[in-house]
Amino acid sequence: MAPRKPKPKPKRAGDGETPGDVRPKLAVWKFASCDGCQLTLLDCEDALLEIAAKVEIANFPEASRAIVRGPYDVSLVEGSITTSHDAERIHTIRRASKVLVAIGACATSGGIQALRNFAEVGGWMTAVYGRPDAIPTLRASTPISDHVKVDFELHGCPISKEQLIRVLGAILRGNVPRLPHHSVCLDCKRNGTVCVTVAEGQPCLGPVTRCGCGALCPSHGRGCYGCFGPLAEANFGGMGRLLEVKGVDAAGRARLFRGIYGAAEAFRVESESHGRNRT
């Protein structure tokens, strides 16, 4: 028996009721990534149908087959650029987008896959794949802003649901999104979480990491590993020295800075001051 015939047409997301939809068009794009940041949108369970009623979901393949042609009012871009094809594709997306928001550690710093930037990729390719020559990959994994103008960056690995809704709301109202800009360390104080470095001597990147997670790791009794990226103007050298005082060896210090946001400038520079290129 053949499956039910797909319903004819509705090619426009959410249409059926409003021909000539005037809702702003939202598009979600993916580059090298784990899909976690766009999944964050689907994880807005309580608000999902409400958001879907306010915007036209014009391109979001993880959620819908319906693809509406651009231009798009807002494009959310997840993932980093790691292939020459993607380096071209991002320009097409930029041209089709009024506002382009890079979401997540990959799109804003190159992501965890930017750990390759510290190494000789060829050896890894041979180790992982049988026929590395057949796989097109660039030597470095780079953020979206290295390739095109980005209107707003939303950080985190993964991004915060609340921040995403806030940023989308501001952009759709025509406002410039504003997010809090302080360290994870400050949120710990506000939450009344006991400092894991002071009380237990655990290494913690909280003082130099951008807020947004709600200071999650220390609330679980562990040090921050920097998954919202470096906070601009933090004292990274001082952080490095503190780690040293707390007994973290040079390789450990280099590794701590060289994690989820390893290729972000401030973390990269600090990591290189503790350890040369990886072994």
Give, as ranges, the residues between 204 and 263 that touch other proteins (CB under 8 A).
213, 216-217, 219-222, 225, 227, 252, 255, 259-260
Asked if 13 interacts with other proteins (CB under 8 A), we say yes
Q: Tell me which of 20, 45, 149, 173 binds other proteins, using CB under 8 A.
A: 45
- One character per residue 91-110, x = contact with other proteins (rule: CB under 8 A): --------------------
Segment interacting with other proteins (CB under 8 A) among 121-129, 163-171, 182-190, 265-273 = 121-129
Residue 8: HSE in the Cβ half-sphere, 13 Å Cα cutoff = 0
137 binds other proteins (CB under 8 A): yes
Give yes or no for residue 146 binding other proteins (CB under 8 A): no
Q: Which stretch binds other proteins (CB under 8 A): 65-73, 168-176, 183-191, 240-248?
A: 65-73
Secondary structure (3-state) at 106: helix
| Position among 3, 19, 20, 174 found at the interface with other proteins (CB under 8 A) | 3
Cα 17 to Cα 12, 14, 51, 198, 238, distances in angstroms? 11, 8, 17, 59, 59
Q: Name which position in 18, 50, 123, 276 contacts other proteins (CB under 8 A).
A: 123
Least spacing, CB of residue 195 vs other proteins, in Å: 15
Q: How far apart are CA 205 and CA 188, in angstroms?
A: 12
Q: Is 63 or 151 the residue whose CB approaches other proteins more closely?
A: 63
Which listed residue (23, 25, 30, 155) binds other proteins by CB under 8 A?
30
The residue type of 252 is G
| Rounded Cα–Cα distance for residues 213 and 50 (Å) | 24
Distances in Å between the Cα of 260 and the Cα atoms of 179, 248, 271 are 21, 19, 13
* Contact flag: residue 194 with other proteins (CB under 8 A): no
199 lies in the binding site for other proteins (CB under 8 A): no
Map residue 276 onto helix, strand or coil.
coil
Cα–Cα distance for residue pair 110/113, rounded to 1 Å: 7
On the CB side of 159, how many CA atoms lie within 13 Å of its CA?
36
